[in-house]
Amino acid sequence: MGVTDPTTLTLTELARAYRSGDLRPSEATKAYLERLEPGPVYRLVTAERALGQAERADALFAKGVDLGPLQGVPLALKDLMDT
């Protein structure tokens, strides 16, 4: 099937696409990072860290390891969270 724009998928759809092999976490993360720019909304974007974590999720899925529904799902934290 393949996914045209992963940024349009819900969390549940992303998780399903990862597990079916239609999408890899690194592909979704790259798509989100292309849309983000540091500024007033996203003050800090940790692209290298996000890509590294997504690639680790890719490798785990390839080995058949499933750590739960949020495995590989990109997340953004509101600035009221202490990072």
- Give the mean model confidence (pLDDT) for residues 35-61: 89
Q: Cα–Cα distance between 49 and 4 in angstroms, integer?
A: 24
At 75 the three-state DSSP class reads coil
Q: Looking at this protein, which amino acid is placed at residue 77?
A: L
Q: Residue 2 has what pLDDT?
A: 63
- Give the mean model confidence (pLDDT) for residues 5-14: 94
Q: Residue 28 has what pLDDT?
A: 96
Please choose, from the candidates 46, 71, 76, the residue with its C-alpha nearest in 3D space to the C-alpha of residue 61.
71
Please choose, from the candidates 68, 79, 74, the residue with its C-alpha nearest in 3D space to the C-alpha of residue 9.
74
Total-model pTM: 0.84
Q: What is the mean pLDDT of the chain?
A: 89
What confidence tier does 36 reach under pLDDT thresholds 50, 70, 90? confident
Tell the residue number behind the tokens 């992303």, with chain if given.
Answer: 14
